[in-house]
Structure 1
Amino acid sequence: MDYKNPSLPISKRVEDLLGRMTLEEKIGQLVQPFGWKMYSRKADGTVEVTEEFIQELAQGGLGSLYGTLRADPWTEVTLKTGLSPREGAAAVNTIQRYAMEHTRLGIPILFGEECSHGHMAIGATVFPVPLTVGSTWNTELYEKMCKAVAVETRAQGGTATYSPVLDVVRDPRWGRTEETYSEDAYLNGELAVAAVKGLQGDNIASEESLIATLKHFVGYGSSEGGRNGAPAHLGLRELHEVDLLPFKKAVEAGACSVMTAYNEIDGVPCTSSRYLLNDVLREKWGFDGFVITDCGAVNMLKDGHNTASSEAEAVAQSLQAGVDMEMSGVMFRAHMETAIQHSLISMDELDQAVSRMLEMKFRLGLFERPYADPDRAERVIGSEEHVRLARQVAAEGIVLLKNVQGTLPLDPQAISTVAVIGPNANAPYNQLGDYTSPQPPGQVVTVLEGIRRRMGRDESRVLYAPGCRIKGDSKDGFENALQCAAKADVVVMAIGGSSARDFGEGTIDLRTGASVVTGNDWSDMECGEGIDRATLTLMGVQLELVKEVHKLGKPVIVVYINGRPITEPWIDEHVEAILEAWYPGQEGGNAIADVLFGDVNPSGRLTLSIPKEVGQLPVYYNGRRTRGKRYLETDLAPRYPFGYGLSYTEFKYENLRVEPEMIHPDGEATVSVDITNIGSCDGTEVVQLYVSDLTASVTRPALTLKGFRKVPLNAGETQTVTFVVGPEHLQLIGMELESAVEPGEFRLMVGPNCTEGQTASLWVKERGDEA
């Protein structure tokens, strides 16, 4: 049997195996049922396969399993019923071994896992969410983080992850904003490349590598009204210039998998769009991996989008468009054979999809090394090295939005007492974000714990009161919060939002701050998948709490912990300092304390424009010049612009130069600027390059990000930062939807954000044109 011979080319092995397969076995390779339903845990921590799994195998085998080790309220896998890192690896081996020994051809299973910000399994490191990662503007650091995620996941037998999320956010009311990097396609593309390099490494067969799945393809972040899965109103030019760009960069970097989006574009669902999945992805870009649907997306073609009149037609529409595997597998398993019998799908079309899945399994090395190493899983998952990395990512992603008269950093020697107040001060799950597994007690460092550690663990110096919940109108905790604040020299208010699902942890007693388990637990979830909002203000009575504390006359520092921007003009205008931490992960409390006390000089920069009020939406920085003038009540400028963020020091930009000042369309120019740290402490600046095409055949954005560098500078130090500008940075999508660099003047700006910096001109001329 040639397919078992590792010395043969993969194409030969695929051909041999495909020729031996029955119709049922071929269909089986394209389905991905829920993995956590395929085993049951025994009292000793080992597992046995379920009858459901045995029946799935009997129907023709299984190509893949989804979320076998996923643990959360949706799967109903808890700390008590779930598996430790070592047990998880052993469980995957049990499932894999049964599949290979009890099927005719012994084809290994591909295990797909959720790893948006860490493997979604018990014991894995919970890193900050992608929105925090984006705010680091540090691709090298993110690549390290993705490598750590790959190491932990592969150690348990996972071979594919459903990340990175490359959606460009156009309306941050969308609940999945936290899963994305930014509102900018270029920044998303650079981070996408880092993710692919970190997750897949040099060889996906390595024990330190995972298949990266790019999602959601495409336009998912441009949904109508910020509602999850709503239509995306995109023209083809904007689609190619903006939403498709990060995916193109990641495909060029070698990404092995793509996931379709739920939404439609111009009336065509992404899951059945041959233009997107074949013409663009495969024909134009040369993608050679496999395409998987999001969960339930094929069902939506019949019941939702209503482009298919039957289940078999929905299956045919997706497969013929370019889908290779269905997450959940329900529609493919039940209706693929009917679609073939009625000639809705040809055997050649089916064989093409099956070949892609088999090829990926050979590339992963699963036929030769199908099993995980439980010893390695126990050693690397949640390691101290990864915890330190999580703290660094969180610290670099924190953005200092306001700092009046040097309120920060705090000096623990000069402060006798700190009051830590707010619903996010000591709520572990509130700082983790969606797609998070259950956490053992003490695993998550909260803001309260981080400050206590930094203040020397003398609890008399760190007072705590929750004050209120994220949602709800109860003010039962106000009195205790105000008493704590009155005793303190400075007040840190941890407020914002929550993507925490119900992990059975109970609720908080607002009067004492103690955790209380009742029969009627309170959910504070106001963000996350499927949790979209009509406004961006704080929920509940949080703003009232801040106002009451502010009346005491103490310095107030607001720490936002949240998954989308918050618009609260009163807070922007009245409190002394504001930190935006997004969801900073399990080490968030330590990272926030690092910044509050100056152990880390904040270097995070916004990747989303924060509006003054929700009525300004959409408010992304790189809109077309023709976007309009202003509203009657306000202008179009955001409260905090894209790229913005303060430091404890100050940086000066000087001597911007462009060499040469004139190039041909295929040429390059070097852009250099001198950056000096003119403050009294060391710091790190995010130097940003923006390009404006002053005259073009199609309307252009006022400016677009085309480069960035994160530069550490000692106090008094000067460095020259250099960018190379070429066709990639100057091109547009022209009248015929082809990329081109047009002659004319380009304005270059280098500065600390999208609204300020030094400018210079670069001219592009056609060859032979000396004008």
Structure 2
Amino acid sequence: MTVSTRVQDLLARMTLDEKVAQLVGFWLDQDGEVVAPLADEMATADGRSLADITRHGIGHFTRVYGTRPVDPAARAAWLVDEQRRLVRETRLGIPALVHEECLTGLAAWKAATFPTPLAWGASFDAALVEEMATSIGESMRRLGVHQGLAPVLDVVRDPRWGRVDECISEDPYLVGTVGTAYVRGLQAAGVHATLKHFLGYSASQAGRNHAPVHAGPREIADVFLPPFEMALRDGGAKSVMNSYTEIDGVPVASSPELLTDLLRGELGFEGVVVADYFAVAFLEKTHALAADRGEAAALALAAGIDVELPSGDAYLEPLIEKVRAGEVPESLVDRAVLRVLAQKEELGLLDAEAFDADAPATIDLDTPRHRDIARRLAEESVVLLANDGALPLAPGARVAVIGPNADRAEALQGCYSFANHVLAHHPGTPIGVEMPTVREALAGAFEVEYALGCEVEGTDRSGFAEAEAAASAADVAVVVVGDQAGLFGRGTVGEGNDAESLDLPGVQRELVERLVATGTPVVMVLLTGRPYALDWALGAGGPAAVVQAFFPGEEGGSALARILSGAVSPSGRLPVSLPRSAGAQPYGYLHPPLAGPSGVTSTDSTPVRPFGFGLSYASFEYSEFACSVAESITARVTVTNTSDVAGVEVVQLYGHDVAASITRPVAQLLGFARVPLDAGESRVVTFDAPLSRFAFHDRSMERVVEAGAAEVWIGSDAATDAIPRVTIELPQRAITAADRRLVEVTLSEAR
């Protein structure tokens, strides 16, 4: 890492107290609210003034906007004044770096709420995710925020895990492509992205949050690492956050092998590693690896964690004592301080004029541009799972809108939305943005009668009769079921809300089945943060149509109404397979032959709907598929809209290494493209994929492409060939950093 003279001079003038102050955050306005794991058991300000707390300076201000509802403009003015005070009154005049959560948009009151990351994956639209991230970053910069704690690049392995809602997909390449786009967008606006959670977090045992991970080095390298590598090498991400978990008995927060040797040595990362909230203290508290906070600080600092967030539970007095006792080299403190100061310099915080300008008098965090992006991403992410002709709804139809998620704005939002993350502690406070529910949106186009039916959770069936009556009197019933996102037991999905079953929560399935029994066509709409076991709904005797929406955000209700009415043809595809049951593991598509169904086991891991699945109101055909290999893999196919309505086809390129030195997946996504087509239109889609899409770590843990035959095909999903496969011969190739580019896609007119 190259360090400027200015940064070196600052370090040379610092006392130990001033150094460690740069390595911690301070969480303003926490007020005992639990919006992070075990936050109520950690250190507080103990009634001290902010001036006293920051007398030696401060590294980060934690969630200035995202801890309680504050007026954005008033808070921005306060923040500018506070930064000026730090510059004026602390000895070295170093301002604070401000970080916020921004996974579904800036987690602040009155800020736009976008679809959850699982919906980003369902859109298969990296360009639109990049556009969204840029708009989020621009809002953050206007507020004086410098770093965003997103994106989440964990690869989904077990849908019981509550944090699936925060993830993009079960496919590492889709995660990496979409996640890298988010990084580029956020950083284009001048806000540093933070990749999380490095590494292996989503492989926690039985889908339990913070549970141990038992993953071999090859699975870590070939499944969990690639998205981070893509976002670092191709996206230039500036910050990384550690994983809470332990892998084979070693907590990641204490692992120099992961946080230094791999991250910095092999991947070349030169930015700042921040601790997930309280992760340093957890080395003592939940891992029992350290005897006290000082020992925890020593382990984390040596491993490569530069900044302790959200506050200084271990990196303040406990670390200072260790350094002064000669038990921790001060050079480790200096290493981290140099990285922090270099980041602040890059962000312009050390410039003399950094805070000359006053904050804007008015700040709109939910502009028409925000809403347009939110609507487009929501529409693109809705997945049509089944349809026997009930959709689109007939014009003028009498529609019964039923269900626990039909008329709740909170049901449209993920765990890290401000409403579900923070406003749950402030009952009665309005969300602060316009967010029409599914009921409200449908009422704009149809004659609607509403009935609750039941709550998301619980066993109360007292509303069933009213719901059945409403369905019986209607031409069609739209029943909206699913999740309530929240944290640590306050909801059915989200951080700390892990599930033992993949059945719909409460009595929602029974409600749907009772409505189907009325004889009225039923359209089941799922607003969820995880895939549920839906075999009962997707076979004979189930609803007439099933629509999956992964927390589609502030425009989700309107997007669903437009899709149900036929104004928009659905184009979302499943970013995760739909499991048959919680025990049908491994249910994901990226598995070797041994993990699939066979006669040697009585359990069937075949998903109810495979990865990449999604129906449309249009129909498409493929022709003229060809594939060749040289320095890269070139695949070309013609896709035609054979219907009388416009639509978007998500063209998916798959491959399979026929015989290798280790077992390989039966199907692997090589590339994808969203292709808009008018009725009757044809286009040629050309993929230029690097050979590294077939790479893996061999028996000696070298990353290679092995010579031999491989099958390549276009799939309508991971389980269905849309056109006959082509066999190619792969050359032997050792993979270097230069081989890790993204797949390039070209669309051209058919001749």
Whether 1:553 and 2:519 are equivalent positions in the alignment is: yes
CA offset digits 1:407-460 (Å, max 9, x no partner): 1111323x1x111000000011122111222443672111001101233xxxxx
Q: Paired residue for 1:658, among 616, 627, 632?
A: 627
- For 1:737 and 1:372, the matched residues in 2 are separated by 53
Q: Paired residue for 2:448, among 462, 465, 476?
A: 462
Deviation at 1:633, TM superposition (A): 4.5
Deviation at 1:628, TM superposition (A): 5.6
Deviation at 1:766, TM superposition (A): 5.4
| Corresponding position of 2:614 | 645
- For 1:286 and 1:694, the matched residues in 2 are separated by 33
Kept in 2, the 8 Å contact 1:67–1:112? The answer is yes
Whether 1:694 and 2:658 are equivalent positions in the alignment is: yes
Kept in 2, the 8 Å contact 1:231–1:265? The answer is yes
Query: Match for 2:324: what amino acid?
Result: Q
- For 2:482 and 2:504, the matched residues in 1 are separated by 6
Kept in 2, the 8 Å contact 1:89–1:372? The answer is no
TM-score using structure 2 length: 0.90
Distance 1:496 1:15, change over 3 A: same
CA offset digits 1:560-598 (Å, max 9, x no partner): 001111113322221100100111111111010011011
Whether 1:745 and 2:709 are equivalent positions in the alignment is: yes
- For 2:109 and 2:568, the matched residues in 1 are separated by 30
Deviation at 1:632, TM superposition (A): 5.0
Moved more, 289-298 or 523-532: 523-532
Pairs within 5 Å for 1:58-457: 58=55, 60-71=56-67, 77=68, 82-201=69-188, 208-252=189-233, 253-327=235-309, 328-368=311-351, 369-371=353-355, 376=360, 378-404=362-388, 406-413=389-396, 415=397, 417-438=398-419, 439-440=430-431, 443-455=434-446
Whether 1:567 and 2:560 are equivalent positions in the alignment is: no
Task: Structure 2: give runs of 5+ residues left out of the alignment.
Answer: 33-45, 420-429, 734-751
- For 1:276 and 1:545, the matched residues in 2 are separated by 48
Moved more, 431-440 or 578-587: 431-440
Deviation at 1:93, TM superposition (A): 1.2
Deviation at 1:281, TM superposition (A): 0.6
Kept in 2, the 8 Å contact 1:155–1:377? The answer is no
- For 1:373 and 1:605, the matched residues in 2 are separated by 46
- For 2:335 and 2:52, the matched residues in 1 are separated by 26
- For 1:373 and 1:719, the matched residues in 2 are separated by 51
| Corresponding position of 1:6 | none
| Corresponding position of 2:474 | 488
Distance 1:766 1:581, change over 3 A: closer
| Corresponding position of 2:565 | 597
Distance 1:705 1:377, change over 3 A: farther
- For 1:372 and 1:652, the matched residues in 2 are separated by 60
Deviation at 1:91, TM superposition (A): 2.2
The 3-state SS of whatever aligns with 1:94 is: helix
Query: Match for 2:54: what amino acid?
Result: L
Query: Match for 2:317: what amino acid?
Result: A
Kept in 2, the 8 Å contact 1:290–1:356? The answer is yes
| Corresponding position of 1:474 | 460
Query: Match for 1:658: what amino acid?
Result: C
Distance 1:172 1:373, change over 3 A: farther
* Number of aligned positions between the proteins: 701
The 3-state SS of whatever aligns with 1:615 is: coil
The 3-state SS of whatever aligns with 2:316 is: helix
Query: Match for 2:105: what amino acid?
Result: G
Kept in 1, the 8 Å contact 2:253–2:305? The answer is yes
| Corresponding position of 1:608 | 576
Deviation at 1:158, TM superposition (A): 0.8
Kept in 2, the 8 Å contact 1:175–1:531? The answer is yes
The 3-state SS of whatever aligns with 1:543 is: helix
Distance 1:501 1:224, change over 3 A: closer
Kept in 2, the 8 Å contact 1:92–1:372? The answer is no
Distance 1:600 1:375, change over 3 A: farther
Moved more, 728-737 or 556-565: 728-737
Distance 1:336 1:377, change over 3 A: farther
Distance 1:375 1:279, change over 3 A: closer
Q: Paired residue for 1:32, among 8, 25, 28?
A: 25
The 3-state SS of whatever aligns with 1:216 is: strand
Kept in 2, the 8 Å contact 1:391–1:588? The answer is yes
CA offset digits 1:294-344 (Å, max 9, x no partner): 111111111221222222111111001111000022111131111212333
Deviation at 1:84, TM superposition (A): 1.9
Pairs within 5 Å for 1:612-761: 612-627=580-595, 629-630=597-598, 632-660=601-629, 663=630, 667-757=631-721, 758=723, 759-761=725-727
Q: Paired residue for 2:495, among 516, 529, 532?
A: 529
The 3-state SS of whatever aligns with 1:99 is: helix
Deviation at 1:94, TM superposition (A): 2.4
- For 2:359 and 2:529, the matched residues in 1 are separated by 36
TM-score using structure 1 length: 0.88
- The RMSD of aligned alpha carbons is 2.0
The 3-state SS of whatever aligns with 1:676 is: strand
- For 2:401 and 2:432, the matched residues in 1 are separated by 20
| Corresponding position of 2:748 | none
The 3-state SS of whatever aligns with 1:538 is: coil
CA offset digits 1:669-689 (Å, max 9, x no partner): 311011111112110011111
CA offset digits 1:135-178 (Å, max 9, x no partner): 00000000000001101111111100100000001001000100
Deviation at 1:636, TM superposition (A): 2.2
- For 2:714 and 2:356, the matched residues in 1 are separated by 48
Deviation at 1:716, TM superposition (A): 0.9
